[in-house]
């Protein structure tokens, strides 16, 4: 068992690593201490996430729940940006719950608070609610419950789908732009666009129709922000795609016991593709050792993103970390308001390849009895869809296409025409 670290040693490790410098034996030792401290959050985090999941089984509202250990580059940037000590950070271990609507967030806060007060193994230190005014200059919205278990502070984020969509959009745009927008890094006009988008989304969630002038202003801001991103030559992604088989592969090996399984996913933002993925031990020490190993193998300064995610159902990651999915082309990173609102309903439901197949079938008018063979569709009309087989299965599972088997011709399901048009 590792020797317990003093608070001053932990804070010293955070300070030394965030300031950087030449690689020395002392710095290597501090990095080891940093990894030890971060790893100590995983066991209490997993226990807490599992306990919350048990409560939610009979809650009766649709939700998505996952956890993660904060990535090392994020932690070090935060220490430097805020001039705080490592032991003061409250989100090294964090869980995230996504619910449908903003009022569902209120209900869930009350429900979880009641459960904790009824004798949970952890305590609620406070609730920080960023939904009404938005956080900082970026416009981030969500509610954060600060928890404590085994002397470790943990953060539980609760967001509506609208709030989550905004957060994932700015995350995706940040990496493609090459600036950390949520950390107020980047051109003020790009950050201002996302703040305005968040404000309008809040109006919509509050049941108010945004003023027409605000909509026009938002589109103008979007165009300005998009031009700024176009002019940036940092970390652009063109024609990237995400392999939906990643989730299917991981699902085939997940435990299925309802416990929190740990997964390491490596994403390459230079290509927009998953590099590798693996199920790792539920044992906190073993999982975090593997996490550190992957971080060393795939460094952040080469545009790799390594994340340790915990969930009882791997497909949940498709929802809770959706910025890895659905990237089409650089041209579509920023959308106009109508596209954004439509995206709230459809973006997290199907992948890019599925939308491309739907578009081809719609343009060529393959509805109902007007069918096309799968070979023709795959090899001629939709030959640029890299994820064709997986995407076709997604459309079949959702009932959006008529398809008996992989030898029969297919067409769009005319009974789902309104749904298909919404996806497109």
- 312, 266: one domain: yes
Sheet holding 304-311, edge to edge: 123-129, 143-149, 152-160, 93-99, 63-69, 304-311, 261-268, 273-280
Compute CA distances 242 → 67, 168, 321, 322, 424, whole Å: 22, 15, 13, 11, 18
- Mean pLDDT for 121-135 is 94
Query: Which structure tokens are listed for 153?
Result: 């502070």
In-domain check, residue 385: yes
Residue whose tokens read 């030394």: 16
pLDDT at 283 over 80: yes
What average pLDDT is seen over the chain? 85
- 326, 257: one domain: yes
- Mean pLDDT for 371-393 is 87
330, 365, 396: which is the final residue of a domain?
330
Give CA–CA dist 235/241, Å, rounded: 15
Above pLDDT 70, what percent of the chain?
Answer: 86
pLDDT at 145 over 50: yes
Q: Work out whether strand 152-160 and strand 143-149 pair parallel, antiparallel, or are unpaired.
A: antiparallel
In-domain check, residue 325: yes
263 class by beta-carbon count within 10 Å (0-12 exposed, 13-18 middle, 19+ buried):
buried
Phi–psi pair at 74, nearest 5 degrees:
-65, -45
- 298, 253: one domain: yes
Per-residue burial over 212-222, b = 16 or more CB atoms within 10 Å of its CB, e = otherwise? eeeeeebeebb
Give the closest residue to 352 by CA, choosing from 397, 385, 401, 316.
385
The whole-number pLDDT of residue 336 equals 56
In-domain check, residue 269: yes
Residues pairing with 158 in the sheet: 97, 143
User: Where residue 256 falls among pLDDT bands split at 50, 70, 90?
Assistant: low
- 264, 314: one domain: yes
Predicted TM-score (pTM) of this structure: 0.77
Domain count for the chain, please give it: 2
Check which CATH number belongs to the domain holding 413 and give it.
Answer: 1.10.10
Query: Which structure tokens are listed for 118?
Result: 């009824």
The whole-number pLDDT of residue 99 equals 92
User: Where residue 327 falls among pLDDT bands split at 50, 70, 90?
Assistant: very low
Collapsing DSSP states into helix, strand and coil, what is residue 17?
Answer: helix
Residue ranges making up the domain that contains 299? 245-330
**51-60, 169-178, 192-201, 389-398: which range is least confident on average?**
169-178
299, 330, 361: which is the final residue of a domain?
330
In-domain check, residue 376: yes
* DSSP secondary structure, 342-410, as one string: HHHHHTTTS-HHHHHHHHHHHHTT-BTT--B-HHHIIIIITTT-TTHHHHHHHHHHTT-EE-SSTTS-B
Q: What is the pLDDT of residues 219-243, one digit of tens each?
A: 889 888 888 888 886 655 544 455 5
Query: Which structure tokens are listed for 219?
Result: 């589109």
């Amino acid at each position: 068992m590792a020797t317990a670290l003093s608070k001053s040693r932990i804070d010293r490790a955070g300070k030394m690593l965030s300031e950087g410098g030449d690689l020395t034996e002392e710095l290597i030792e501090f990095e080891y201490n940093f990894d030890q401290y971060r790893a100590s959050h995983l066991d209490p985090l997993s226990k807490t996430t599992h306990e919350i999941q048990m409560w939610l089984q009979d809650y009766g509202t649709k939700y998505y729940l996952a956890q993660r250990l904060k990535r090392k580059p994020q932690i070090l940037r935060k220490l430097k940006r805020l001039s705080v000590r490592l032991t003061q950070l409250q989100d090294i271990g964090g869980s995230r719950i996504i619910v449908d609507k903003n009022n569902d967030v209120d209900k869930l806060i009350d429900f979880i608070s009641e459960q904790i007060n009824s004798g949970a193994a952890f305590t609620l230190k406070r609730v920080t609610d960023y939904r009404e005014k938005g956080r900082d200059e970026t416009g981030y919205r969500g509610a954060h419950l600060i928890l404590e278990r085994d002397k470790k502070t943990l953060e539980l984020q609760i967001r509506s789908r609208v709030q989550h969509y905004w957060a994932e959009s700015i995350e995706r745009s940040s990496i493609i732009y090459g600036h950390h927008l949520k950390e107020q890094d980047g051109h003020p006009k790009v950050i201002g666009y996302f703040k305005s988008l968040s404000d309008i989304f809040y109006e919509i969630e509050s049941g108010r129709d945004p003023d027409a002038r605000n909509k026009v202003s938002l589109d103008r801001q979007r165009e300005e922000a998009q031009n700024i991103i176009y002019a940036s030559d940092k970390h652009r992604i063109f024609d990237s795609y995400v392999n939906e088989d990643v989730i299917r592969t991981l699902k085939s090996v997940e435990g299925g016991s309802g416990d929190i399984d740990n997964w390491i996913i490596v994403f390459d933002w230079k290509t927009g593709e998953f590099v590798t993925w693996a199920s790792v031990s539920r044992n906190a020490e073993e999982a975090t050792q593997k996490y550190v190993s992957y971080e060393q193998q795939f460094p952040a300064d080469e545009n790799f993103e390594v994340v340790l995610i915990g969930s009882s159902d791997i497909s949940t990651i498709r929802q809770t970390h959706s910025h890895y999915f659905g990237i089409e082309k650089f041209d579509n990173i920023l959308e106009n308001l109508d596209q954004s609102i439509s995206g709230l309903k459809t973006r997290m439901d199907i992948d890019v390849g599925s939308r491309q197949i739907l578009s081809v079938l719609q343009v060529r008018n393959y509805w109902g009895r007007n069918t096309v063979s799968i070979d023709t569709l795959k090899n001629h009309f939709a030959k640029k869809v890299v994820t064709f087989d997986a995407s076709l299965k997604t459309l079949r599972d959702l009932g959006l296409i008529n398809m008996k088997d992989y030898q029969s011709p297919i067409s769009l399901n005319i009974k789902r025409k309104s749904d298909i048009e919404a996806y497109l």
